[in-house]
A and B are shown apart, each in its own frame.
Chain A
Amino acid sequence: MHTVVLTKGVPDFREGQVAFDEDGHLERGATPTVMNPNDKHALRAALQTKVRNGGHVSLMSMGPPGFKEVLREGMESVYADDAYLVSDRAFAAADTWATSIALTTAIERLDEHVAEDGVDMVFAGFKTADGETGHTGPQTCWGLDWPILTHVVSLDIDEEAGRVRAKRLVEGDIEEIETVEAPLPCFVVADPEFEPTYRKAAHRLTHKDLREETRERAENHEEHVTVWDHEELNLDPDYVGLDGSPTIVSSVDPIPRAPAERDATMVDPEDGEAMRELVEEMAPLAGGE
């Protein structure tokens, strides 16, 4: 079993981390890069696979060399065995299409030349926090010509039979869950509702072993990262990066400023009379009026 988990470094949009300039544009240099928050669901699904079915997990990302930090974080959470960074100036400013071409090529290379018995599964989160397109995963899968399972909330793999059975949200709706099957190899997009289950003591013991093993590996994570550029992947620069991107960004709207401050009335909780007035004032709201 060899699985690949796709991850991406995105600006840390959490309050206190993200920086905007005066015009409301993101200040990329002043905002730290973190692992795309939605990728943790893919990592959890891949980890469950590694714990329950064993095998090798490779983390893969496309981005500048600084993404190695993101790979370390990913490596720690999925107990990855190694990591591949698709990184080259020629890949810069790629849209989702050009990104998918590069990732497809990298996965194929892993499948044909690195993984002993080929790659069995690829996991991806369902969208990134910066682009929010949700394109890259499905497009990469289209390039591989594999079946895709999206909005997956639980997963069971029968390696011998070469089949995957999954529960997925129909139309992304938690109220409607269907069970589907696919042959291996296949592409899995984990939903934020994905819950790994470890109901066997043996699974949990393996989990503990892997955590211990990974701790040492993550400390020297650089030794386990392979960087692939366009030459390594035998990719024509005309088909990747900005030149290979059909998307034309016509303009970027700055994020509007927050509306003016609201009026605030301060009430001392010790002041019984004022609190009583406050409760009376708020009582109609509690009734939903």
Chain B
Amino acid sequence: MSETIDDATGASDEYEQYEAVVVGCGPGGAAAAAALADEGVETLVLERGVDAGSKNVSGGLIYAEESAPYTIDGLFPGFREAATERPVTEYQLHNVAGSQVKSFDITDLHEHDTEWSDAVLRRKMDSWLAERVHERTRETGGGLLTEVKVTGLLREEGEIVGVTCEELDPIRAELVVAADGVNSELARDAGLMDWEEPEEWFQGVKAVVDLPDGAIQERFGVGDGEGAAHLFSGDLFDGVRGGGFVYTNEDSLSIGSVFHLDSVATELAEPHELLDALLTHPFLGQWLDDAEYAEREYSAKLVPDSKKAALRSPHQGRLVVVGDAAGQMQAQGPIIKGMNHAVTAGGLAAEAYAQAKARGDTSRAGEFYERKLRDEGVMEKLRPRRYEVASALGEPEPVANLADAVVDSAVGRFGVRLLGDRLERLYSSPALSMMVPDTRTPYVTLPTVIAEELGAPVDETNDVEPPELADRIGDLTYDTDVGNPHIELLDDSAAASGTAVTACPVSAEGFGGGCYRRETVASNGEREEVVSLDTQPCIECGTCAVVAETDWEHPRGGKGVEFEEG
């Protein structure tokens, strides 16, 4: 008998149908799903991790903005009590030059338009959200499933009519919400996103560092229920454009570095070494004790730069794209906001669908969603006009080089000294921070000059020895999909893919235990430099998809790395 069992009953001829399918259960997907369920929409949520949050990494601050139509605790009552770490009650920016540091208190900037802001660890946060999402979507006939990987869009006669999955038969839906994160399979399938330009991305690397009970209160001078955020910029990363952060969790620290990917790539920087440069800086000696130093988890992710990557029309047919998948990650100077925008986008997408349905044409949801993003001011935050003007003036290379030279010159240094502590207020200007160009000047040169001219030497010492990359990888949990690698190297020449050896956060030059390695192959008397790939240690950040020639997709549902902190 040639037909399969399912064919016999006709089961595979009729695809399942849900009113809405939400792909991914991070904050964007959770917000969309909860808001859809609140509208009575039958909503199926598909998450590829073993648990929501097991694939998710963030630096770690989530905001509730006063101006935003949706906040995470508005959509999920009890969120802060159950799912977050400490609120940020103090925010500082540290300008670093060698061991000289000049600190600015930018709490005012942080509090601008901020109802509250808490540090979070994503496994705890997202899995809490997912439980609520399942309960609420179940009530309207849907629900949440984990370990299901959506592979692409289901199309009929060129129209998007649903999704295809690895673990399930195709599913039809009136609305598909792509909340599948920075490496969105759906946004790429729709041709809305690509992995071409390193300039559009940041790469973040993070260590969650364990601290003894009471250490945070004591060392950061905060009370119970209070927390601190510290940002770092200057010369501690050897000229790579980016910065570092330290956030206080309940009883651990999230310490990380975030860099422009093009800078990481061209400088051949090793991301884990950039992180180590921060971890071992004397300034952190006040918080870290080398004798007790223990990392709970090492992680990394790509971060879209909304100024360049945010989709102006994040929809196509019945598909709407929210959060990182749509490039909705605002990183402008010290303002780093992603999750809140994902939440707002999710809420607006649901609202848009309900509105389209009320008008009797659900296919118009995308159009309404785009309009709401604009009308609610989300798009202006993601792609500020001020930046478009400033960057046009300041980012072309000759101008950037000139500005950099001026800041570093006697004139610039005089200006910095003259401004002195007034710089702190300038740094606290929301309007100015939106204009910060993506050049060396704001990230490296200016902070260095400020630290040199105005800073004082750090008197702490820091003897922390961060773990080797091999140990960091060894401490991660993987469920390897043996024999089914999720990344294929399309061009293994060093010229095409060599950058991955350094830029991949779990690979390094001269390290054999990572994803990418350099190898010399001798054939026909010639020696050739090639790159080889082993996907086992992959932490699914997507860096190599941008800097190397790969065919990149996520592992199957439940497979690959499983973050416990995130």
Contact = CB atoms under 8 A, between A and B. Distances in A.
Contacts of B9: 156, 158
Contact of B16 (A154, A156, A200): A200
Contact of A205 (B5, B8, B138, B171): B138
B219 to A, nearest CB: 41
Residue in A154, A158, A202 with the greatest tally of chain B CB atoms within 10 Å: A202
A179 B221 CA distance: 72
A199 interface: yes
Given A199-B168, A201-B44, A205-B138, A156 B145 contact: no
Nearest to A199: B169
B472 to A, nearest CB: 24
Contacts of A155: 5
Interface residues of B, number: 20
A167 interface: yes
Contact of B6 (A156, A204, A209): A156
A167 B2 CA distance: 12
A135 interface: no
A205 B6 contact: no
A208 B168 contact: no
A200 B9 CA distance: 14
Interface string B121-135: 000000000000010
Interface in B26-48: 44, 46
Nearest to A52: B11
A200 B5 contact: no
Interface in A193-222: 199-202, 204-205, 208-209
A156 B167 CA distance: 18
A165 B8 contact: yes
A179 B168 contact: no
Interface in B130-158: 134, 138, 142-143, 145, 148
Contact of A165 (B5, B16, B142): B5
B18 interface: yes
Given A179-B1, A208-B143, A201 B6 contact: no
Interface string A131-170: 0000000000000000000000011101000000101000
B5 A201 contact: no
A165 B1 CA distance: 12
A160 to B, nearest CB: 10
Given A204-B145, A205-B143, A208-B143, A179 B44 contact: no
A95 to B, nearest CB: 37
B145 A201 contact: yes
B13 to A, nearest CB: 13
B8 to A, nearest CB: 6
Interface string B252-295: 00000000000000000000000000000000000000000000
Given A199-B169, A201-B145, A205-B145, A167 B5 contact: yes
Contacts of B145: 201, 204-205, 208
Contacts of A205: 44, 138, 142-143, 145
A154 B168 contact: no
Interface in B168-204: 168-169, 171
Given A205-B138, A208-B143, A156 B5 contact: yes
A1 to B, nearest CB: 15
Contacts of B142: 205
The 6 closest A-B pairs by CB, nearest first: A156-B5, A205-B143, A199-B169, A179-B1, A204-B145, A201-B44
Interface of B: 1, 5-6, 8-9, 11, 16, 18, 44, 46, 134, 138, 142-143, 145, 148, 167-169, 171
11 contacts: A156-B8, A179-B1, A179-B5, A199-B6, A199-B168, A201-B18, A201-B168, A201-B171, A204-B148, A204-B168, A205-B138
Interface of A: 154-156, 158, 165, 167, 179, 199-202, 204-205, 208-209
